[in-house]
A and B are shown apart, each in its own frame.
Chain A
Amino acid sequence: MKVNTLLSISTLQALHIADGEREITSCYIGDLLSWVMGRAKADSAWITIMSNVNVLAVATLADTSAVILAEGVMPDDEFIAIAKAKGVNLFVSSLPAYESAIALSELLS
């Protein structure tokens, strides 16, 4: 599916879409950055509750298609500004990580 497809999930709010046509091929849930870099596949949607700017460096370097902040975690303005500058597709989910992933999985399959 494409990043734009996430817009059809009512519990997701887009904070920045840099490339809506980008493909999402899998999903990874995690908050420890080295685990994400070691285990998340390229082009996955990454669900996390971490919202410090290092998340955006990891998303960029590990080639994830989108960052989804779960549990309604709202990042600060600096985070959103850096997401824009780095071209990171950024969403907030009002649901916990597990339920967010279920919503995604229905569209992935």
Chain B
Amino acid sequence: MNDTLVFHFEVDGEDFTSAGQASVQIKKNLRQLGMSPEVIRRVSIAMYEGEINMVIHAGGGHATVTIEEGYIEIKLEDKGPGIKDIEMAMMEGYSTAPDNVRSLGFGAGMGLPNMKRYTDFMTIESEVGAGTTVTMRVNYA
């Protein structure tokens, strides 16, 4: 692959039922590119968790997926409240999700840990009151 492919998505912070549209679209794109089912699955889940976090915790945001030589990069940027203690947020089970979100099956505090598990590289940059940027990479052969 010589050209770098870039996909952009606006993630709507209002709409819960359509949450995941960007991830579903990326899944289709990766399939068209002939990526392996395992790579597609890891990208899909990691991106969906990140998308959902922007909807639940940050009022929406922007997703950019870049297909580089050897890896897929997913960048999720929002202008939400930020994360005060990233180490704490990364712990399995830690969640500040409200009850209405929990009743839908979200808010198990497993999103960030899943994103870490399914990717080969992940960083979180966050400033309280300014926003959060999560960058993930999944390698492919």
Contacts and interface: CB of A to CB of B under 8 A. Distances in A.
Interface in A51-103: 52-55, 57-58, 60-63, 86
A61 B45 contact: yes
B105 A57 contact: no
Contact of A54 (B38, B45, B104): B104
A62 B41 contact: yes
Contacts of B41: 42, 61-63
Contacts of A15: none
A62 B38 CA distance: 10
Nearest to A54: B104
A69 to B, nearest CB: 13
Interface residues of B, number: 24
A38 B37 contact: no
Interface in B1-31: 16-17, 19-20, 23-24, 27
B113 A33 contact: no
B105 A61 contact: no
Contacts, number: 66
A53 B17 contact: yes
Nearest to B43: A61
Contact of A32 (B23, B48, B105): B105
Instruction: Describe A's contact surface by its main secondary structure.
Output: helix
A38 B114 CA distance: 6
B111 interface: yes
Contacts of A37: 45, 48-49, 110, 114
A98 B46 CA distance: 29
Given A57-B19, A86-B24, 4 more contacts: A33-B104, A42-B37, A52-B17, A54-B19
Interface of B: 16-17, 19-20, 23-24, 27, 37-38, 41, 44-45, 48-49, 104-106, 108-111, 113-114, 117
29 contacts: A31-B105, A32-B108, A32-B110, A33-B106, A34-B106, A34-B110, A35-B110, A37-B45, A37-B48, A37-B110, A38-B114, A38-B117, A42-B37, A42-B38, A50-B104, A52-B104, A52-B105, A53-B17, A54-B16, A54-B20, A54-B104, A54-B105, A54-B106, A57-B19, A60-B24, A61-B27, A61-B48, A62-B44, A63-B41
